[in-house]
Structure 1
Amino acid sequence: MAKGDTILPHRHRRDQLVYASEGVMTVVTQSGAFIVPPERAVWMPGGTEHRIEAKGDLSMRTLYIEPDAVRGLPQEVCVLQMSPLMRQLILEAVEAPQVYAVDGPEERLMRVILDKIVALPTAPLNLPIPSDRRLRKITEGLMLDPADRRNLADWASEAGASERTLARLFLAETKMSFRAWRQQLRLMRALEMLAADVQVTTVALDLGYESLSAFTAMFRRAFGVPPTRYFDDARSSRAEI
């Protein structure tokens, strides 16, 4: 997929594992948005309506899995961390014929993949979307302008609820505080912008950070590396396979 391409909302009967081998995609469902950087995958249970947006040139591989194929598969949409072994298994699986012999090498490969999926750790790369109309005024405003620095007290009159009520609703509907939700939004938007080759300084300022160092510190806390190295590390990981 090329930068800016979108796969319109759709759903599949079977569970789906979509692996981003290169580029960044955003997967949007009714429950929220999920950012999928390189070397991650998004898991979607069967029947989940979703759309996929390419934030840069995107290469992905997809596996379709029967919901009852193995016990322990994720029951909700989530982003999964890929191990080097899992990446190689997926690349081999997509080359296998769609129909293969039971107890043959392809079937054994698929069984290994199923066991590995169950054990994969999740990555906190989702942004829950609240249903309460008062919260939606806030979250939709921030998605349009992530640099908006207003706090909940500032939003209260516009949203039509007290600061205390809004804080309680954020925790109840997103399992996150307002500040944590806004930071998660900025992190996800940062990955999208970096994938589109936007300069790091521009990303920092556009997202409302007072300095490049403040943005870099936040990014490093979340991902373990500075923004200038994030995609370089993903490319290095692929080269080691």
Structure 2
Amino acid sequence: MNNQIRTFRVAQDYGFQIDPSIPVLGYTETVNYETCISHAHPRGQLIYATRGVMNVVVGNNIWVVNPLQGLWIPGGVEHQVTFQKDVNYYSVFIDPSVTKGLPINSFSFDIPMFLKQLVFKIITFGTEGDLEASQRRVIDVFLDELALIVPSATFLPTTNDERLQKVVELLMNDVASKQTIDYYAELSFMSTRTLSRLFIKELGMNFSDWRTRLKLLEAIKRLGEKQSIKEIALNLGYETPSAFIFMFKKHLGKTPSNYILEDENEDKISA
């Protein structure tokens, strides 16, 4: 797999174009195994893909974004996006003149069909400042809808603490691991109590919850790659598919099968 690394032209041009007469700029592209290097731009950005999976890193948080989700990044926030296979990518860049009232933090969210349709419409507006009255009304509705989005739980906090970072890397490199926190504490030359406290302090959750979140994000990624539920369950270290399904539904409110079905139905509607 040849993973090319580049800065997208859209991030260079659209993200840095400050012009209140063009409050939003839409862009779409099909991307295959590429990474957009870490960057920031003055315009806020809504990222969405009708097909494929994106990994987005903002600070010490990692999001795995699938076709049922969008990602909001305020202007000036440094971020890096890695695109998996065949990502049909959409983005809307919002001028600072109209970002008042929009969220001030980055997060992923379950994107409503209505907001998706507004994104698709904005993509057709072009990049000039001669917007028609009907187009400006669409943009106003889009901004109103964007102000209503709320975060989902599908992100993974990471850390700059060197001691904890080693444990996090071990867990991320072996998602199916069934080792206890005592095992990782011993590997890191820490007491179990110290490591447990570090998880709470640095990551905002305990060892067990963080590892579950890691498995959940990996499951979302693999579902996006069309792997079978049985295959995903075994590769994530679950004894049975039913145990995996229980975990998935507990945290996302739907089974993996329903999650896939909703994804496929959304894709048909947007096609």
Normalized against structure 1, the TM-score is what? 0.91
The whole-number CA distance in structure 2 between the counterparts of 1:187 and 1:21 is 20
Deviation for aligned residue 1:25: 1.2
> Which position in structure 2 is the counterpart of 1:221?
250
> Which position in structure 1 is the counterpart of 2:226?
197
Distance 1:106 1:63, change over 3 A: same
The answer to whether the 8 A contact 1:45-1:67 is kept is no
> Which position in structure 2 is the counterpart of 1:234?
263
Q: How does 1:128-143 map to 2 (within 5 A)?
A: 128-143=157-172
**Structure 2 unaligned blocks of 5 or more:** 1-29
The whole-number CA distance in structure 2 between the counterparts of 1:33 and 1:197 is 21
> Which position in structure 2 is the counterpart of 1:15?
44
Normalized against structure 2, the TM-score is what? 0.82
Name the aligned partner's letter for residue 226 of structure 1: T
The answer to whether the 8 A contact 1:100-1:107 is kept is no
> Which position in structure 1 is the counterpart of 2:4?
none
Name the aligned partner's letter for residue 109 of structure 2: L
> Which position in structure 2 is the counterpart of 1:75?
104
Deviation for aligned residue 1:180: 0.8
Residue among 79, 87, 91 paired with 1:58: 87
The whole-number CA distance in structure 2 between the counterparts of 1:22 and 1:176 is 31
Deviation for aligned residue 1:163: 1.5
Distance 1:89 1:77, change over 3 A: same
Name the aligned partner's letter for residue 142 of structure 1: L
The answer to whether the 8 A contact 1:100-1:106 is kept is no
The answer to whether the aligner puts 1:44 opposite 2:73 as a matched pair is yes
Q: How does 1:145-160 map to 2 (within 5 A)?
A: 145-160=174-189
The whole-number CA distance in structure 2 between the counterparts of 1:85 and 1:116 is 9
**Cα deviation per residue 1:161-185 (whole Å; 9 max; x = unaligned)?**
2212222221121111111110111
Cα RMSD after superposing both structures:
1.9
Name the aligned partner's letter for residue 212 of structure 1: P
The answer to whether the aligner puts 1:164 opposite 2:193 as a matched pair is yes
> Which position in structure 1 is the counterpart of 2:13?
none
The whole-number CA distance in structure 1 between the counterparts of 2:245 and 2:201 is 30
Deviation for aligned residue 1:223: 2.2
Name the aligned partner's letter for residue 240 of structure 2: S
The answer to whether the 8 A contact 2:38-2:78 is kept is yes
> Which position in structure 2 is the counterpart of 1:87?
116
Identity of aligned residues (%): 31
Distance 1:153 1:43, change over 3 A: same
Residue among 132, 135, 141 paired with 1:112: 141
The whole-number CA distance in structure 2 between the counterparts of 1:84 and 1:202 is 30
The answer to whether the 8 A contact 1:55-1:192 is kept is no
